[in-house]
Copies of this chain bind each other. A is one copy, B any other.
């Protein structure tokens, strides 16, 4: 029995016609000799409509009841999809997260999957029945309905594939993973494969189609994930373990992020205690910090720069207020017009000089680099947004993205 987990997102089941189209795709897969276990999200903007009602009642509605409320969205989808399959003459059964045995732990609205009791799942698979599972949900030890937060339905799909040790297919509104956003560079290439590590970097840069947690889970269970279009019959991209031949490409992808701000603290006394205090105060306010750089000390002081999402800026400012009150010599500077380009590639592990190669490229085009950070498989550059398009084209062309 070739089991396969398929996941269809909210826009793929956005109306009755689309649900019927998804049913036909599932049947096609079955006729190819597979037994599909299908995870679906809530229809279209159903979750938002439900949340809107909750926020009419309270600006901070109790999270257990939020889960009780929004979990109905997926339940509607699975019932309708199962009806569509049965109407087309195929044995199918819908199961909610709790019914399929998804046990969760942690807080309501952002629970984690602790385990899957696969008893019910196995029973229906033995009967050769297509199982339709409500994504994004499970039940905790109190038998309360819980939801999994962002990327929840993908996580359900990957966790089921992990439990069943079978491949996972994520059908969505894009047709695969691109080396860079095709809206930024029309020649951008769709990747046939990408490694878990590269996809994690791309996803954490906001460029990926999937949430990092689902990719991490797939990596943990060594489950290959196909990302493909739910609308068109085209080959997508497979996320899997890196292979030798993948290393021939130095750079796999280029992520472009315009949602960060660059904060610089000038004239910081050169002391590890003070640097630690600065980042501790930011951490206590739950401020996400991505790139960090520090100049060499000069006259016993340094300049520290870091990038943070625009949404965290106000909190960051209030944290820094405390710092500048205590250390009056420090001055702060915010640049909210920056562009962050990140090149990602497993190949960088074995190819040195990529950072330098890009510096040369940018210098020739008179593009100033305001900040640069590197990790094992990623290099990020902060540049002026006016130079972004040119830099993207230069890098994409140089590395054949």
Cβ–Cβ contact B80 & A57, under 8 A: yes
Cβ–Cβ contact A53 & B80, under 8 A: yes
| Majority secondary structure, A binding face | helix
Cβ–Cβ contact A57 & B72, under 8 A: no
Set B54, B79, B96, B99: member contacting A80, Cβ < 8 A: B54
Cβ–Cβ contact A54 & B83, under 8 A: yes
A53 with B94, Cβ < 8 A, contacts A76-B72, A143-B99 known: no
Cβ–Cβ contact A76 & B50, under 8 A: yes
Cβ–Cβ contact A82 & B53, under 8 A: no
What is the count of identical protomers in the complex? 2
A68 with B50, Cβ < 8 A, contacts A16-B56, A57-B16, A57-B87 known: no
- Tell me which residues across on chain B come within 8 A of A86, comparing CB atoms: 58, 61-62, 65
User: Shortest distance in angstroms between A92's beta carbon and chain B's nearest beta carbon?
Assistant: 9
Cβ–Cβ contact A69 & B80, under 8 A: yes
Docked pose: A143 CA to B101 CA in angstroms:
12
Cβ–Cβ contact A94 & B68, under 8 A: yes
Cβ–Cβ contact B53 & A66, under 8 A: no
Docked pose: A80 CA to B51 CA in angstroms:
10
Cβ–Cβ contact B57 & A84, under 8 A: yes
Cβ–Cβ contact B56 & A79, under 8 A: no
- Tell me which residues across on chain B come within 8 A of A84, comparing CB atoms: 57-58
User: Shortest distance in angstroms between A49's beta carbon and chain B's nearest beta carbon?
Assistant: 10
Q: Which of A12-65 contact B (CB under 8 A)?
A: 16, 19-20, 50, 53-54, 56-58, 61-62, 64-65
A57 with B19, Cβ < 8 A, contacts A62-B83, A69-B76 known: yes
Q: Which residues of chain A have a CB within 8 Å of any CB of chain B?
A: 16, 19-20, 50, 53-54, 56-58, 61-62, 64-66, 68-69, 71-72, 75-76, 78-80, 82-84, 86-87, 93-94, 96, 99, 143, 145
Q: Name 19 extra pairs, CB < 8 A, besides A54-B79, A69-B76, A72-B72.
A: A16-B56, A16-B57, A19-B57, A50-B76, A53-B76, A54-B83, A57-B84, A57-B87, A58-B84, A65-B82, A65-B83, A65-B86, A66-B83, A68-B78, A68-B96, A69-B75, A72-B75, A96-B145, A99-B143
Task: Sample 14 A-B pairs with CB under 8 A, ordered by A number.
Answer: A16-B56, A16-B57, A19-B57, A20-B57, A54-B79, A57-B84, A57-B87, A62-B82, A66-B83, A68-B79, A68-B82, A69-B80, A96-B145, A99-B143
